[in-house]
């Protein structure tokens, strides 16, 4: 899932996201709550309509952003008080408040309010944090069930376009007439730090709360990649296979292929979009830093195996020129290519799953694009 923090996947117009085949994007509750504000978004018909995005939207709980961005954060049983990174004003996020905000935004998938355990954390700290997340999960669910019908979808005519949702390519998978949701879905989040037994216990007790999908949070916070995989593997043994399994905040292209092969269904990461704005391009030949002087006269595309609108039209020499000249088009084109690379990677994974053989993609012998 491309990340669209503040109601926009940075630098990319929505029609290009559609062309790229993005079926679902992520919005950040913390950012949208602070600006433009969830009440404004609700009043204007919800986030789909506000940003003119007919396909699926997932919002995070706000917990991770408070953890990573806000100032003077203070965690209590009730919730988390913090000061805005924008203007220093004081705010309180609770499970109930997170549900209220996410329902006002009108996401298709709402995330339970959790605490992202810091890394490293002692075992007892990881356990108590996990217990808090479980209590908050229960409160999230109770509040969500009481208010889930209050989404501002209305007749779900999104933005200024008048085509029915199902007429959009890719949208059918998410919103066709048989599966179109009338309320959002709430996913639970597994925590437990870097302790396998705590992760298993967190998974089991989250499943007891009965969610239609489960996320694994608190990973990619500084631990080794081997440790990340151990935690994912331990939790996947327990999470039901017939419900979506979502690893939050990962990862590099080779990682997301591995996790998909392990049984992960959903992932999100700012990497393709954020790296693009720093001139880092993902390609079938590996990562390249487009500002490098070696590309100044390179008339090839960013990725010779990529068929995206950027690789079909522009050279590395031009992309380098845009980047070193700090031209705004650099961010647009680099982001479009990186998203194409990620979405193509996942398309290849889905294709391999359909064929029943992921070995080629995992060994690298089958091109990711």
**Residue 172 Cβ vs a copy of itself, minimum distance, rounded to whole Å:** 20
CB 231 within 8 A of CB 196: yes
When the beta carbons of 328 and 356 are compared against a copy of itself, the nearer one is: 328
Cα–Cα distance measured from residue 106 to residue 362, given in angstroms and rounded to the nearest whole number: 37
User: The dihedral of CA 252, 256, 262, 266: what is its sign?
Assistant: positive
CB of 149 to a copy of itself, least distance (A): 24
β partners of residue 25: 57
Helix or strand holding residue 20 (H, E): helix 14-20
* Backbone phi and psi for residue 90, each to the nearest 5 degrees, phi listed first: -90, 140
Given the residues 60, 108, 114, 344, select the one marked as catalytic: 60
With tokens 């007891």, the residue in question is: 208
Catalytic residue among 176, 197, 265, 268: 268
CB 152 within 8 A of CB 45: yes
The region of 6-14, 65-73, 184-192, 242-250 touching a copy of itself under the rule CB under 8 A is 6-14
SS3 89: coil
Q: Which of 172, 238, 262, 317 binds a copy of itself (CB under 8 A)?
A: 317
Token code pair at residue 103: 């329902």
43 binds a copy of itself (CB under 8 A): yes
* Residues 139-178, mask of contacts with a copy of itself (x by CB under 8 A): --------------------xxx-----------------
User: In this structure, are strands 90-93 and 80-83 parallel, antiparallel, or unpaired?
Assistant: antiparallel
210 as an active site residue: the answer is no
Q: Cα 68 from chain centroid?
A: 16
Residue 40 in contact with a copy of itself, rule: CB under 8 A: yes
SS3 string, 311-359, reads CCCCCHHHHHHHHHCCCHHHHHHHHHHHHHHHHHHHHHHHHHHHHCCCH
Piece of the chain touching a copy of itself by CB under 8 A; list 10-18, 88-96, 209-217, 348-356: 10-18
| Interface segment toward a copy of itself; rule CB under 8 A; list 70-78, 113-121, 324-332, 355-363 | 324-332
- The site string for a copy of itself over 270-299 (x = CB under 8 A, - otherwise) reads -------x------------------xx-x
Please, which residue, 256 or 340, has the CB nearer to a copy of itself? 340
**Beta strand pairing status for 109-111 and 266-267?**
unpaired
Q: Are 203 and 236 within 8 A, CB to CB?
A: no
- Name the token pair of 44: 């204007």
How many residues line the site for a copy of itself (CB under 8 A)? 42
Using the structure block, give the residue that is written with the tokens 């390179």: 298
Residues 46-75 as x/- pattern, contact with a copy of itself by CB under 8 A? ----xxx-----------------------
Token pair listed for 265 = 């269904």
Catalytic positions are 60, 268
Residues that bind a copy of itself in the complex, under the rule CB under 8 A: 6-8, 10-15, 35-36, 40, 43-44, 50-52, 159-161, 277, 296-297, 299, 301, 309, 312-315, 317-318, 321-322, 324-325, 327-329, 331-333
């Amino acid at each position: 899932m491309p990340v669209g923090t503040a109601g926009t996947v940075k630098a990319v117009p929505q029609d290009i996201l559609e062309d790229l085949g993005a079926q679902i994007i992520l919005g950040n509750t913390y950012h949208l709550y602070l600006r433009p504000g969830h009440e404004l978004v609700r009043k204007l018909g919800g986030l789909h309509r506000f940003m003119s995005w007919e396909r699926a939207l997932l919002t995070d709980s706000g917990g991770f952003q408070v953890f990573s961005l806000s100032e003077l954060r203070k965690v209590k049983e009730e919730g988390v008080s913090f000061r805005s990174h924008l203007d220093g004003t004081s705010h309180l996020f609770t499970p109930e408040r997170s549900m209220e905000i996410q329902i006002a935004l009108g996401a298709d998938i709402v995330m339970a309010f959790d605490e992202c355990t810091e890394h490293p954390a002692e075992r007892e700290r990881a356990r108590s944090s996990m217990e808090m997340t479980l209590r908050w999960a229960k409160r999230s669910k109770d509040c969500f069930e009481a208010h889930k019908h209050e989404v501002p979808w209305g007749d779900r005519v999104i933005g200024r376009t008048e085509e029915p949702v199902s007429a959009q390519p890719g949208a059918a998978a998410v919103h066709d007439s048989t599966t179109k949701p009338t309320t959002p879905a709430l996913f639970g989040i597994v925590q437990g730090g870097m302790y396998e037994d705590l992760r298993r216990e967190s998974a089991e007790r989250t499943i007891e709360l009965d969610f239609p999908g489960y996320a694994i949070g608190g990973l990619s916070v500084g631990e080794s990649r081997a440790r990340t995989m151990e935690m994912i593997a331990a939790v996947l043994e327990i999470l039901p296979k017939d419900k979506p399994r979502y690893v939050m905040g990962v990862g590099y292209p080779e990682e997301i292929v591995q996790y998909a092969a392990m049984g992960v269904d959903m992932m999100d990461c700012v990497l393709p979009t954020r790296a693009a704005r720093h001139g880092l391009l993902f390609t079938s030949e590996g990562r390249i830093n487009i500002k490098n002087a070696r590309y100044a006269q390179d008339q090839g595309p960013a990725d010779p195996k990529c068929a995206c609108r950027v690789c079909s039209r522009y050279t590395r020499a031009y992309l380098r020129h845009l980047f070193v000249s700090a031209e705004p088009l650099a961010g647009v084109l680099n982001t479009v290519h990186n998203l194409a690379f990620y979405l193509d990677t996942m398309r290849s994974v889905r294709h391999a799953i359909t064929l029943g053989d992921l070995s080629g993609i995992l060994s690298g012998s089958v091109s990711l694009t």
